[in-house]
């Protein structure tokens, strides 16, 4: 494997005050870059000062959205060490996304080495205040300067990192969710299972409208029948109905979340039944009406677990679990964050120390 070249910045930035910084607005001093050229593969891995990248206006990513990304975090433990949470799962998923978008795969060890090298260079950027972390954004874009609709023959792989404050700075509280029955995020056969920018572009309109109406996220229904529950905002979703946890199956239009997968494993260990299956909106509303819907929460790297206190469907609202944080919701949050920040032991081997 090619050695990673390191060019250090001569003008290190001042670290922002981690309290109260908005998500994804500050970036560390360096970034990892690597190029793909057809016939040569992934070449020229390098760490350079964080800054603008130069692309032709005709670069394919701007026109046809051949792009994928990932999201994960580096956590500082109470002892001051830095660790990742299941990072190989992210790089494996990135390759699954790459397959769907006709982007060449990146050997997972290569991505991992780039990330670890970057984190070591920027280790002071991993904050240490409680519940803060360094958000990591790997992404790949198509760079051919061509307007023809084709698969690109050149790509740029980049990893940038951003210090983020506590997601629940004001304390965890249940959110209001709007069930979206007009716009859809993804369809089977489309790109819903891939982490690509295009899915997000399609989701913006409904998200904006829901926010205007006082909701914090949209709950997406499937793209064909608008009948089956899929995801909530950019998170997977779980419901506790009559003591059983149900979550939409990975049908092809649902993103296979690593937090989702981890929750399923933890719940299994606790002896709680988990069903991955289709869930109709009628079943959900009925369960909300008769009180058998005891808890609901979203799962994803940014929030880890996000309690849902109210759902609204066609202008009718339903309160879940008295609009309080459910017992299981809280327990999953505590177990996962305990492992991620190294506050508790990790019986699963999910933690990946970088030093």
Ligand X SMILES: *Cc1c(COP(=O)(O)O)cnc(C)c1O
Chain residues binding ligand X by CB under 6 A are 71, 195, 231, 234-236, 255, 257-260, 299-301
Specify which residues 159 forms β-bridges with.
32, 138
CB of 292 to ligand X, least distance (A): 26
Q: Please, which residue, 104 or 256, has the CB nearer to ligand X? A: 256
Q: Beta strand 67-69 with 133-142: parallel, antiparallel or unpaired?
A: antiparallel
Q: Please, which residue, 16 or 71, has the CB nearer to ligand X? A: 71
CB of 305 to ligand X, least distance (A): 10
Q: Please, which residue, 47 or 246, has the CB nearer to ligand X? A: 246
Q: Please, which residue, 121 or 245, has the CB nearer to ligand X? A: 245
Specify which residues 319 forms β-bridges with.
310
Q: Please, which residue, 144 or 180, has the CB nearer to ligand X? A: 180
CB of 49 to ligand X, least distance (A): 28
b/e map 42-78, b = 16+ CB within 10 Å? beebbbbebeeeeeeeebbbbebbbbbbbbbbbbbee
CB of 175 to ligand X, least distance (A): 16
Backbone angles phi, psi at 105, to 5 degrees: -65, 155
CB of 117 to ligand X, least distance (A): 23
Alpha-carbon distance of 325 to 302, in angstroms, equals 18
Taking each helix axis from N to C end, the angle separating 87-100 and 258-269, rounded to the nearest 10 degrees, works out to 130
Alpha-carbon distance of 203 to 215, in angstroms, equals 15
């Amino acid at each position: 494997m090619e050695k990673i070249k390191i060019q250090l910045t001569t003008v290190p930035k001042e670290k922002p005050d981690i309290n109260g910084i908005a998500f994804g607005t500050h970036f560390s001093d360096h970034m990892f870059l690597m190029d793909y050229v057809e016939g040569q593969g992934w070449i020229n891995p390098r760490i350079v000062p964080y800054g603008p990248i130069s692309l032709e206006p005709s670069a394919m990513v701007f026109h046809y959205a051949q792009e994928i990304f990932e999201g994960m975090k580096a956590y500082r433990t109470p002892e001051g060490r830095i660790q990742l949470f299941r990072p190989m799962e992210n790089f494996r998923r990135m390759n699954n996304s790459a397959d769907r978008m006709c982007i060449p795969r990146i050997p997972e060890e290569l991505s991992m080495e780039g990330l670890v090298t970057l984190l070591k260079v920027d280790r002071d950027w991993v904050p240490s205040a409680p519940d803060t972390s360094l958000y990591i954004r790997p992404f790949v874009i198509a760079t051919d300067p061509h307007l023809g609709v084709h698969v690109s023959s050149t790509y740029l792989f980049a990893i940038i990192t951003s210090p983020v404050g506590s997601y629940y700075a004001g304390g965890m509280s249940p959110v209001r969710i709007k069930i979206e029955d007009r716009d859809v995020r993804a369809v089977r056969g489309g790109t819903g299972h891939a982490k690509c920018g295009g899915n997000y572009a399609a989701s913006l309109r409904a998200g904006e409208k829901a926010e205007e109406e006082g909701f914090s996220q949209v709950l997406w229904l499937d793209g064909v029948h608008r009948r089956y529950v899929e995801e909530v905002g950019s998170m997977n979703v779980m419901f506790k109905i009559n003591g059983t946890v149900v979550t939409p199956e990975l049908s092809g239009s649902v993103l296979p979340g690593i937090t989702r997968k981890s929750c399923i494993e933890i719940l299994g260990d606790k002896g709680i039944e988990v069903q991955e299956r289709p869930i109709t909106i009628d079943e959900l509303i009925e369960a909300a009406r008769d009180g058998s819907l005891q808890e609901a929460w979203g799962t994803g790297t940014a929030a880890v677990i996000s309690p849902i206190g109210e759902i609204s469907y066609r202008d009718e609202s339903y309160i879940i679990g008295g609009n309080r944080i459910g017992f299981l919701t809280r327990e999953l949050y505590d177990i996962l964050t305990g492992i991620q920040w190294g506050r508790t032991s990790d019986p699963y081997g999910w933690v990946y120390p970088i030093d």
